[in-house]
């Protein structure tokens, strides 16, 4: 059903109905943004990349042959842009640019939480972020990332354990 809505909107866009793309933005922006946020771990960068991805999708819509598969196509564009961004960012980083968690004793501090999320490896951060954007449904994440349900669960589990370790790092040092 959902694919049919996309299918119609994509076909309309391809036939020159530019406004039909607004429907696609409204339906998919949330997921594209969640993917970008999970990958780049910064709201502002994620917004920029998600916007660039949506615009790129618009410019390239005529190349989409499987018109009912707008979402995976769009997510692939976003993923590639994120990887490109991370490559550029890595190049510019100085030696000690890796985020570190220092004196993270309180778990009720959003700043510490953000830092800890950022310090997670991307393959753990991405499913964890999407988990909270996808109504906590692992099967949605599995479909969007095109990986198995069990792998999603495994990564979310690993992400929680790792996050807890990061947030309580200071406590362990003191004990």
Partner 1 sequence: MSPDCQSTRDLISDSIAGTLPEAAEQTLRTHLDACPECRRYAQALEQEDALLADHFTQIEAGRAARQARVLDTLRNHYAEPGTDPLSIRSRILKRRISQLALAAAAVFAIVMGLHLCGDTFRTTNTVYALDQTVAAMSAVRFVHVVRRDEVGGPLQEERWIEIGPDGRQVRYRHDKPPHHFVINDGEVTARYDRFAKTVILYDTNEMPYRWIDPLGQTFENLSQEGMIVEEDARFRGRRVHRVWWPMMREVCCVDPVTRRAIAIGDLELSYEEPPAGTFAITQPEDYDRVNDPAEAGGQEDVLYADVELINPERAMMEIINRHDIMRLYSMGPHRYEGDLDLRVRCDSDVAWGLSIAGMETAEGTGSCWVDKFELAAPGGVATVGVKFTGDAPRASKVATVRLSPTPLPDPAHDARAWQTLGLALYDARRYEEALDAFEKMEAGTNADREDQALAVTWQGHMLDLLGRREEAIARYREVIGMGLDSSVQHGRYGLTYDFTSYPQQRIEAPFTRVENRDAY
Site for partner 1 in 67-126 (CB under 8 A): 69, 72-73, 76, 79-80, 83-84, 86-88, 90-92, 94-95, 107-108, 110, 113-114, 117, 121-123
Please tell me the distance from the alpha carbon of residue 70 to that of residue 9, in angstroms, as a whole number. Answer: 9
Q: Which residue has the tokens 């954007």?
A: 133
Site string for partner 1, 14-53 (x = CB under 8 A): ----xx-xx--xx--xx--x---x-----x---x--xx--
Distance of closest approach, residue 173 Cβ to partner 1, in angstroms: 17
Encoded tokens for 106 = 């309180």
169 near partner 1, rule: CB under 8 A? no
The residue (of 11 and 56) whose beta carbon lies closer to partner 1 is 56
Distance of closest approach, residue 3 Cβ to partner 1, in angstroms: 14
Written as one string, the DSSP assignment of 58-82 is HHHGGG-SSTT-HHHHHHHHHHHHH
Q: Which residue has the tokens 């997670």?
A: 120
């Amino acid at each position: 059903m959902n694919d049919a809505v996309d299918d119609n909107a994509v076909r309309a866009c391809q036939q020159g109905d530019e406004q039909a793309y607004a429907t696609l933005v409204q339906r998919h922006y949330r997921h594209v943004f969640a993917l970008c946020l999970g990958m780049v771990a910064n709201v502002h960068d994620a917004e920029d990349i998600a916007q660039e991805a949506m615009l790129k999708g618009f410019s390239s819509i005529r190349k989409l042959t499987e018109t009912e598969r707008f979402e995976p196509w769009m997510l692939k564009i976003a993923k590639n842009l994120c990887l490109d961004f991370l490559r550029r960012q890595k190049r510019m980083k100085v030696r000690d640019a890796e985020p570190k968690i220092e004196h993270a004793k309180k778990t009720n501090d959003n700043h510490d939480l953000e830092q800890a999320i950022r310090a997670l490896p991307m393959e753990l951060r991405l499913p964890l972020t999407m988990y909270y954007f996808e109504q906590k449904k692992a099967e949605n994440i599995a479909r969007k990332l095109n990986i198995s349900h069990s792998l999603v669960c495994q990564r979310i589990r690993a992400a929680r354990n790792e996050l807890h370790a990061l947030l309580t790092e200071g406590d362990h040092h003191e004990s």
